[in-house]
A and B are shown apart, each in its own frame.
Chain A
Amino acid sequence: MRAKIFAAVTLCALLLGRGAHAGPTETFGYGSRSTAMGGAVSADASDVSANYYNPAGLAAAKGLTFEAGYLRTIYGLKMNGRDNFVDPMRGITFGLVAPGAVGPVPFAFGVGLHLPDDRVFRVRSLDQEQPRWEMYDNRPQRLFMSANLALKPFHWLEIGGGLVFLAATRARLDITGQFQVSNPKESELRHEVDADLTSIRYPQFGMRVHASDKLRFAAVYRGEFQLTLDISARLDVQANALGLSVPLLTYITTNSVNAFLPRQAVLGTSFDPTSALTLDFDVTWINWAAYKSPVTAVNATTQFNPPEGFPPSLVPEKPAPTVVIPPKFRDRLVPRFGVEGRLPLGRGHAFAIRGGYFFESSPIPPQTGGTNFVDADRHGISAGLGVRLHDLTAEIPGDVKLDVHAMYSYLPERLTQKASAANPIGDYRAGGTIWSLGFTTGLVFR
């Protein structure tokens, strides 16, 4: 039975290829236990959340594990004291860990999934100067999916990794036909769309070293990811106006980057001062300096030769090409702290209480010019409870888990003072709060 499940899981992973790895987990955590501990679990996670925090931890799974849960955020992000009604992020989480062995070497395979219940992922193309909550508005609105392998070659060492991918898009749109300028309803236009989805791959690796029974160290690397969207359009029509028919040929190309996820490196430690207490600490370097602007670059070329008598006011104007202002984000270090206290309840049952804290300094420089990537420093405080019931029924030979968590993020108000008095957006204040609530329930078969 176990071998069949393992085979099914492996087959599933191969069909999925490699997972899509993206923003909701880095912003709001993955799995209630790990999120409740402030995400400081790179040296501590061995459940499904290890698919994100450190795939090496999968090798320490105690048995075949299934987990499912739900995550919901509530934004209170404001500019100039007015709520911007940023779309909340919500979705189900699911994952599994399937341990086994390759000869004498313990081996595990894991899959993790966060699936938004409103959309799989969202791409937005906004004007360059439009203010937007760059870290919270669009970036978390996407799928997270990860598939990893882990080995334990020595009793003191676990290593793991996976490849991650999503699709980049290239599309071509052709419009041909007759266009009635005075009455567009009478136009006869033909459309042709040709879209191509190409995959993007990047790696993630992790390792965990057991210095002793009570002390563990971890290192994790996550690669860079970006979703590029290239669209070209060709408009080849006869424009009819005032009894004149004029050929109009326009090429438009757009290029944008969405869902950029920078490279990250994590160093972490986990310490058990007693059998009932775990203390965790992580520090994450995030390469935000490589951030690509999400602004869409547009180029248009028009061939239009109006005949004698064609009204100049109807001649289409050629739009100026977009000059994308470099975002010039800064790298940042994110410290994370977590603590878990466990209380045995007898017969293998246990109760846990957890807490965590992290601080994210904003990587976005003061927006004094033409861009308005709105952000503020973030203090994250989290707490959670967990119950583990052991051998609850004969049909479930193992543990039943239920974890809940709440995370409160406080973004102290950040002031943006424009350098130019001619700026259309002007000065503003930005800050607010974010609540994130969730639960995870799971089965661990022994």
Chain B
Amino acid sequence: MKRLFVILLCGCATLASEGRGDVDLPNTLTGPFRALKRAKTCSDDVCTGVNELPSGVPNGAIQYPGNPPSRAPSALVLGGMRVAMYAARADAIVRMTSEDARTFVDAGEVIKEPGADDPCAITVPGGVWLYYGVGDGLRVAQSPDGASFGPAARVTIAGEASVPRAPGVVRLDDGSFHLFYAVDKWIAEATSRDGANFTRVGIVVTPSAPVDPATLPEGVRLPFDDAAVDDPWVSRTVTTLGRVHYQLHYTGRDLRGGSSIGYAGRFGDEGAFEKREGFVFGGKLFGDPDGNSHANAPTVARFGDFALIYADFDVDKAQKIGIGIAPQRRLLPVDD
């Protein structure tokens, strides 16, 4: 009797509704990111799951419009779910727009220059500044509306001996700029008062030390960034307790030829970054047939209580784009 009573109690317990005590929880929106997916299935007019990507798009395989495909995106949130995306295509930087942050319309070239790559667009009072890399260094162009840009200026970095590439820039409220860029296999930082003439601060993110697979505990993965760190994308926020927080996403390249997206953070406007263990976006969904991840060149767009990450994955040079969402429990239904 007693056992029957307990079983009945447990049986009732399984019927209870799921709790709601996990609504609006704090989160830095820095990942880990879950790949958006098409998960709606219907049988006999009963549908379950939601689609987060438009019809005809397989999981994590959106392609930017235009030919050849674009790469190395940089997102600017325009309000609501509207996004302007700057990306490199051939010898140009193109601008695309999206009303739902997932399907993009080509708005044409905004920069035409041989070797133009790795754009980074930031908003400044009175317009948009677009940083990008070319063969011999970095450039910056200015626009009042984000669509038409004037002639680009050379970006100088005093104290930097190597050729910088892949810029990521934040502008502080006092009008100064912090530039993060890839150099060799590291990510370095430089500061400037005018956004064009920078002074090198130093290396702020380095690759992880290689690990002997034989020494790894069971179930623990090898470092995803033991070969190089690259493609910094950075934002500067202030935490709810008033601390300045730099959030830096980057491409981590491993010694096995794969790449995934990592994250590093820093409190305050100076100092080294602290890396999070493990990648925040990548894995087999963005991998080649051998199982190696090939996600790279991230950009992050924040929409209130969630963020989307966009990253290239260049399997077979298809230059498709993976889109992920954080927090991972957040669903982003799409009408289709």
* A interface residues, Cβ below 8 angstroms from B: 15-17, 79-80, 82-87, 118-124, 126, 130-133, 137-138, 141, 143, 166-167, 169, 197, 199, 300, 311-313, 315, 317-321, 415, 417, 420-429
B27 touches A424 (CB 8 A): yes
Is the Cβ of B275 less than 8 Å from the Cβ of A85?
no
Contact A15 B1 (CB under 8 A): yes
A-B contact pairs, 21 of them (CB 8 A): A15-B1, A15-B5, A84-B22, A86-B20, A86-B21, A119-B17, A122-B16, A131-B25, A138-B21, A197-B10, A199-B2, A313-B291, A319-B219, A421-B245, A421-B265, A422-B276, A424-B30, A424-B31, A426-B239, A427-B240, A428-B26
19 further contact pairs, Cβ within 8 A, besides A84-B23, A124-B19, A197-B7: A15-B5, A79-B25, A84-B25, A86-B20, A119-B17, A120-B16, A122-B19, A126-B22, A167-B6, A169-B10, A197-B6, A313-B287, A420-B265, A421-B266, A422-B265, A422-B274, A424-B32, A427-B239, A429-B240
Contact in complex: B26, A425 (CB < 8 Å): yes
List the B residue with the shortest CB-CB distance to A429: B240
Q: Determine the residue in chain B with the shortest Cβ distance to A315.
A: B291
The complex places the Cα of A138 from the Cα of B221 at a distance, in Å, of 34
Chain A residues near B330 (CB-CB < 8 A): none
Contact present for B240 and A120 (CB under 8 Å): no
CB nearest to B293 among chain A residues: A313
Interface centre among A137, A141, A315, A427 (most CB of B within 10 A): A427
Closest 4 pairs (CB-CB, A-B):
A119-B16, A421-B265, A312-B291, A320-B219
Cβ B21 vs Cβ A133 within 8 A = yes
Q: Would A122 and B13 count as touching, CB distance under 8 A? A: yes
Q: In the complex the two chains form, what is the Cα distance from A98 to B144 in whole Å? A: 84
Contact present for B27 and A426 (CB under 8 Å)? yes
Interface residues of B (CB under 8 A from A): 1-3, 5-7, 9-10, 12-13, 15-17, 19-28, 30-32, 217-221, 239-241, 243, 245-246, 263-267, 273-276, 284, 287-291
In terms of DSSP, what is the predominant structure of the interface of chain B? loop
Interface secondary structure of A, over-half rule:
loop
| A120 touching B9, Cβ below 8 Å | yes
The answer to whether A423 and B10 touch (CB under 8 A), given A122-B19, A124-B19, A137-B19, is no
Give the chain A neighbours of B276 by CB distance below 8 A.
422, 424
Report whether B3 and A197 are in contact in the complex, using a CB–CB cutoff of 8 Å.
Answer: yes
**Shortest distance between the CB of A274 and any CB in chain B (Å):** 46
> Known contacts A121-B13, A131-B25; is A320 also within 8 Å of B220 by CB?
yes
A15 touching B2, Cβ below 8 Å: yes
Query: How far apart are the CA atoms of A239 and B310 in the complex, in Å?
Result: 32
Q: Which residue of B lies closest to A422 (CB)?
A: B276
| Contact across chains for B24 and A79 when beta carbons are under 8 A apart | yes
B291 contacts across to A, CB distance below 8 A:
311-313, 315
Chain B residue contacts of A313, Cβ below 8 A: 284, 287-291
- Chain B residues contacting A122 (CB-CB under 8 Å) are 13, 16, 19
Are A138 and B19 interface neighbours, CB within 8 A? Answer: yes
A59 to B245, alpha carbons, bound, how many Å? 62
Q: Is B13 touching A417 in the complex (CB atoms < 8 A)?
A: no
Smallest Cβ distance from B20 to chain A, in angstroms? 5
CA distance A143 to B13 in the complex (A): 10
Q: Which residues of B contact A300 (CB under 8 A)?
A: 219
Q: Which of B12, B221, B266 contacts A120 (CB 8 A)?
A: B12
Give the shortest distance, in Å, between A33 (CB) and chain B (any CB).
Answer: 28
Inter-chain contact B25/A119, CB cutoff 8 Å: no
Which B residues touch A143, using CB under 8 A? 9
Query: What residues of A have a CB within 8 angstroms of the CB of B217 in the complex?
Result: 320
Across-interface contacts of B239 in A (CB, < 8 A) = 426-427
Tell me the bound Cα distance from A169 to B10 in angstroms: 9
On chain A, the residues within 8 Å of B6 by CB distance are 166-167, 197, 199
In angstroms, Cα B22 to Cα A312, docked, is: 36
